[in-house]
C-alpha cells in the first residue's frame, strides 16, 4: 500500500506537485497518466526518495519513507525507466542480478532467479544471459530492464514510461507480459505514462494528472463514462473515448451466453476492440465466443454500438 | 603485437650498443671515446623506467583522486579551480620546475620526480573527469534507483565505465614522462638523458644518438604496452 498524504514539491518557484493525496492498494496496478510536465514522474520518484518531498508524507504500508534508509528502501522497490539504463559493462544476467547482489543473495539463488526471469520475460534464447546490452534490440533491452526491476521480488514496482520508446508491436507484447506477471505475482505497480491507451489497457485504476494535481482517479471505465470535467473529457479523447472503451472491456463481459453464431471464434478474454476487428475482417456482425476452445456464446455488433452502463 | 616489436627493438639495442664502438668511431673519428660508458645502458634504462613508473604512479594517484573529488556533487564547485591548477602545472616548462626544485630538494632524482609527477597529473585528471562525465545519465539514475550507495556506485559502475578514458590519460602521462625524464639528467638524475646531456656538453654526437635511440625505443614500448591494456579495457562493450 502506497499513500501520498498532502504531498507538495516545487523546483525553484515552480510548483510541480500541489497538495496531492492518493492511496494505492496492495496488489493494484495503478497508472498515472498525464501530459509532459504534469508532475507524474516527480510523484513516482517521491516513493523511492529519488525526489524528496517539500511537505506532506509518502507512506509505504503506513511507514513514512523518510524514516527508512534510502538505499535499503530502494533495494526493496523495483524501478524501471524509459531510457532503461542497463549497465553497459555487465551482461544481461549480471544486469538482472543487480539488486539481489546488492542484497547479498547466495549465488545459486541469484542464478535460479535470473533464469526464471529470462524465461518469464521471453528472453530465453540460448546465450542471452551472457550477452552485453549493446547487442540487444530496444525491446529486448527493456525486457531486461523490467526483469531487473522484478529481480528481488519487490512488493512494489515503479515504472516511469518504460515502454515509451518502443515500436507499437513491441510495446503491446511487453504490456501483455507485464500485465500477466502482475496478475500472477500480485505485485503493486505504480506506472507512469502519457499514453491514454496504455493507461487504460494496463491500469486497474487510472489517475489523470494535470499541473501537479490529480484531476480524476478511477477505473478506466469511470474516466470514460463519467469524466470529472472538460479537461478529462479532452484527455480521454472526446468521440474516441468510445473506441478506447472497446479496448478496455472484454468479450466475456458483453457476450450473449448460449447464443450461436457462424465464423471464426474470438476468445472471451479478448477485448471488444479485438472482437470488432475480427467482425470487420470476417464481414460478419456476430461471432462465436470461445472459452478454452469451447463455444459458450456469441458477441454481437449491436451490443458494441449501443451504450450500456 | 606492436608492443612486442617495440620491446624487441629496445632489447636488441641494449644488446647491440655495447658492441657498436667501431661503428660510432667510423662515424665520429675525432671522438676519443665513441661509446658512453659511465653507466651501462641497461642500468640507465632501468633507472629511467623506475623514475617514470614512480612519477606516473604519483600522477595517477593525484589525478584520479582529484578527478573523482571534482565530479562528486559536493566537489563540483572545485572543478574549475582543479582544472586551472593542473593547466598551470602543464604550462610551466619542466626545466623551470627543475630549476625551482633543485634549491629545495638538491640535485639528483628527487627534483626530477617532482617535475615529472606534476607534469603527469593533468592528462590523468583531464581524462578522469571526461571519463566520469560521459557515463550515461540514465545508467547513474538507474543505479541510484536500485539502491547503490555513493561509493558502491563509483566503484561498481562509474570507474569501470570510465576506465577506457582514464587509461588513455595514464598512457599520455607515462609517455610525457619518458621524454621529459631525459631532462632530469641535467640536474644529476641517472636516466637515458645522461648520455644525451653529456654528449651535448662534450660535443659528442655519438653519445646523443645512443641515448636518443634508447629513449625512442623505450617510449614506443611503453606506449604500445599501455595502448594494448587500454584496448583490452575498452573491448567487451560499445
Q: Which fold has domain A250-305?
A: CBS-domain (3.10.580)
Mark yes or no for CB contact A71/B147 under 8 Å: yes
Helix and strand totals (H; E) in chain B: 11, 0
Q: Whole-number mean pLDDT of chain A?
A: 92
Name every chain A residue with its beta carbon within 8 A of the beta carbon of B152: 102
* B136 in contact with A, Cβ within 8 Å: yes
Percentage of chain A modeled with pLDDT above 90: 68
3-state helix, strand, coil in chain B (%, to 5): 85, 0, 15
- Phi and psi, residue A226, nearest 5°: -135, 65
Under the banding of pLDDT at 50, 70 and 90, the label for residue A309 is very low
| B238 closest CB neighbour out of A73, A102, A134 | A134
Whether B90 shows a pLDDT value over 80: the answer reads no
Under the banding of pLDDT at 50, 70 and 90, the label for residue A307 is low
Query: How many other β-carbons are positioned within 10 Å of the β-carbon of residue B185?
Result: 22
Mark yes or no for CB contact A102/B144 under 8 Å: no
Whether B216 shows a pLDDT value over 80: the answer reads yes
In chain A, where are the structural domains located? 2-244, 250-305
Name every chain B residue with its beta carbon within 8 A of the beta carbon of A71: 147-149
Q: Whole-number mean pLDDT of chain B?
A: 90
* B146 in contact with A, Cβ within 8 Å: yes
* B161 in contact with A, Cβ within 8 Å: yes
pLDDT at A165: 85
Whether A241 shows a pLDDT value over 80: the answer reads no
Q: Kindly report the pTM of this predicted structure.
A: 0.84
Mark yes or no for CB contact B145/A48 under 8 Å: yes
Under the banding of pLDDT at 50, 70 and 90, the label for residue B30 is confident
Mark yes or no for CB contact A71/B148 under 8 Å: yes
| A81 closest CB neighbour out of B142, B236, B238 | B142
What's the rounded mean pLDDT across residues A80-101?
Answer: 95
Element (H, E) at B10: helix B2-16
Mark yes or no for CB contact B147/A84 under 8 Å: no
Q: How far is A119 from chain B (nearest CA, A)?
A: 22
What's the rounded mean pLDDT across residues A3-19?
Answer: 95
Whether A308 shows a pLDDT value over 60: the answer reads no
| C-beta separation of A44 from A24 below 8 A | no
Residues 6 or more apart whose Cβ sits within 8 Å of residue A71: B147, B148, B149
* B238 in contact with A, Cβ within 8 Å: yes
For the segment B62-80, what is each residue's pLDDT rounded down to a tens digit?
999 999 999 998 888 888 8
For the segment B171-202, what is each residue's pLDDT rounded down to a tens digit?
999 998 999 899 999 888 999 999 999 999 98
pLDDT at A78: 96
In chain B, where are the structural domains located? 2-9+43-234
Whether B33 shows a pLDDT value over 70: the answer reads yes
Name every chain A residue with its beta carbon within 8 A of the beta carbon of B141: 50, 81, 83, 85
pLDDT at A213: 94
pLDDT at B237: 54
Under the banding of pLDDT at 50, 70 and 90, the label for residue A270 is confident
Mark yes or no for CB contact B146/A88 under 8 Å: no
Mark yes or no for CB contact B157/A75 under 8 Å: no
Mark yes or no for CB contact A88/B142 under 8 Å: no
The distance in angstroms from the start CA to the end CA of chain A is: 30
For the segment B140-166, what is each residue's pLDDT rounded down to a tens digit?
999 999 999 999 999 999 999 999 999
Mark yes or no for CB contact A81/B145 under 8 Å: yes
What's the rounded mean pLDDT across residues A168-195?
Answer: 93
Three-class DSSP category at A309: coil
Percentage of chain B modeled with pLDDT above 70: 99
Q: What is the DSSP letter of A226?
A: S
User: A259: number of CA atoms within 13 Å, CB side?
Assistant: 11
pLDDT at B49: 96
Mark yes or no for CB contact A85/B157 under 8 Å: no
Three-class DSSP category at A14: strand
What's the rounded mean pLDDT across residues A90-104?
Answer: 96
What number is the ipTM of this complex?
0.84
R_g over Cα of chain A = 21
Q: Which fold has domain A2-244?
A: Rossmann fold (3.40.50)
Q: How many residue pairs from chains A and B have C-beta atoms closer than 8 A?
A: 65
pLDDT at B148: 95
How far, in Å, CA of B7 to CA of B204, rounded?
Answer: 27
Identify the residue with better confidence: A209 or B77.
A209
- Among chain A, residues having any CB pair with chain B shorter than 8 Å are 48, 50, 70-76, 79, 81, 83-89, 98-99, 102, 132, 134, 145, 148, 158
B2-9+43-234: CATH number: 1.10.3720.10
pLDDT at A153: 95
| B142 closest CB neighbour out of A70, A72, A85 | A85
Mark yes or no for CB contact B146/A79 under 8 Å: yes
Amino acid at each position: 500500500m502506497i499513500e501520498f498524504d498532502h504531498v507538495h514539491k516545487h523546483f525553484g518557484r515552480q510548483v510541480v506537485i500541489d497538495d496531492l493525496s492518493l492511496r494505492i492498494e496492495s496488489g493494484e496496478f495503478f497508472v498515472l497518466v498525464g501530459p509532459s510536465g504534469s508532475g507524474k514522474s516527480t510523484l513516482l520518484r517521491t516513493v523511492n526518495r529519488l525526489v524528496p518531498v517539500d511537505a506532506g508524507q509518502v507512506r509505504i504500508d503506513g511507514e513514512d519513507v523518510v524514516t527508512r534508509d534510502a538505499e535499503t528502501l530502494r533495494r526493496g522497490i523495483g524501478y524501471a525507466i524509459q531510457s532503461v539504463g542497463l549497465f553497459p559493462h555487465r551482461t544481461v544476467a549480471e544486469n538482472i542480478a543487480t539488486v539481489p547482489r546488492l542484497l547479498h543473495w547466495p549465488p545459486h539463488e541469484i542464478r535460479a532467479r535470473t533464469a526464471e526471469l529470462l524465461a518469464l520475460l521471453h528472453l530465453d534464447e540460448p546465450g542471452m544471459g551472457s550477452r552485453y546490452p549493446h547487442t540487444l534490440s530496444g525491446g529486448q533491452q527493456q525486457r531486461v530492464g523490467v526483469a531487473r526491476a522484478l529481480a528481488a521480488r519487490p512488493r512494489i514496482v515503479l515504472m516511469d514510461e518504460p515502454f515509451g520508446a518502443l515500436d507499437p508491436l513491441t510495446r503491446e507484447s511487453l504490456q501483455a507480459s507485464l500485465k500477466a506477471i502482475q496478475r500472477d505475482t500480485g505485485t503493486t505497480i505504480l506506472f507512469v505514462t502519457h499514453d491514454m491507451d496504455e493507461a487504460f489497457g494496463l491500469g486497474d485504476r487510472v489517475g489523470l494528472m494535470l499541473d501537479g494535481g490529480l484531476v480524476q482517479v478511477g477505473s478506466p471505465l469511470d474516466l470514460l463514462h463519467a469524466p470529472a470535467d472538460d479537461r478529462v473529457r479532452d484527455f480521454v479523447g472526446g468521440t474516441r473515448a468510445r473506441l478506447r472503451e472497446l479496448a478496455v472491456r472484454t468479450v466475456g463481459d458483453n457476450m450473449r451466453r448460449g447464443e450461436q453464431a457462424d465464423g471464426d471464434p474470438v476468445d472471451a478474454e479478448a477485448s471488444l476492440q479485438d472482437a470488432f476487428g475480427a467482425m470487420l475482417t470476417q464481414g460478419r456482425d456476430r461471432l462465436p465466443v470461445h472459452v478454452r476452445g469451447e463455444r459458450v456464446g456469441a458477441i454481437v455488433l449491436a451490443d458494441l454500438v449501443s451504450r450500456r452502463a | 603485437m606492436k608492443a612486442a616489436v617495440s620491446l624487441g627493438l629496445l632489447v636488441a639495442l641494449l644488446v647491440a650498443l655495447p658492441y657498436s664502438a667501431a661503428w660510432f668511431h667510423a662515424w665520429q673519428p675525432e671522438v676519443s671515446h665513441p661509446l658512453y660508458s659511465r653507466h651501462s645502458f641497461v642500468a640507465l634504462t632501468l633507472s629511467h623506467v623506475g623514475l617514470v613508473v614512480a612519477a606516473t604512479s604519483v600522477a595517477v594517484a593525484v589525478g584520479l583522486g582529484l578527478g573523482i573529488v571534482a565530479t562528486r556533487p559536493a566537489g563540483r564547485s572545485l572543478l574549475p579551480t582543479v582544472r586551472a591548477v593542473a593547466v598551470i602545472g602543464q604550462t610551466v616548462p619542466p626545466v623551470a620546475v627543475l630549476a625551482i626544485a633543485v634549491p629545495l630538494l638538491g640535485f639528483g632524482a628527487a627534483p626530477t620526480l617532482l617535475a615529472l609527477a606534476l607534469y603527469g597529473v593533468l592528462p590523468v585528471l583531464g581524462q578522469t573527469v571526461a571519463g566520469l562525465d560521459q557515463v550515461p545519465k540514465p545508467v547513474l539514475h538507474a543505479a541510484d534507483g536500485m539502491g547503490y550507495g555513493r561509493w558502491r556506485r563509483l566503484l561498481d559502475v562509474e570507474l569501470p565505465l570510465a576506465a577506457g578514458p582514464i587509461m588513455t590519460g595514464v598512457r599520455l602521462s607515462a609517455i610525457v614522462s619518458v621524454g621529459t625524464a631525459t631532462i632530469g639528467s641535467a640536474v644529476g638524475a641517472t636516466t637515458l638523458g645522461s648520455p644525451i646531456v653529456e654528449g651535448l656538453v662534450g660535443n659528442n654526437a655519438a653519445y646523443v644518438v645512443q641515448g636518443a635511440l634508447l629513449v625512442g625505443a623505450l617510449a614506443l614500448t611503453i606506449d604500445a604496452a599501455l595502448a594494448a591494456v587500454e584496448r583490452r579495457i575498452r573491448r567487451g562493450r560499445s
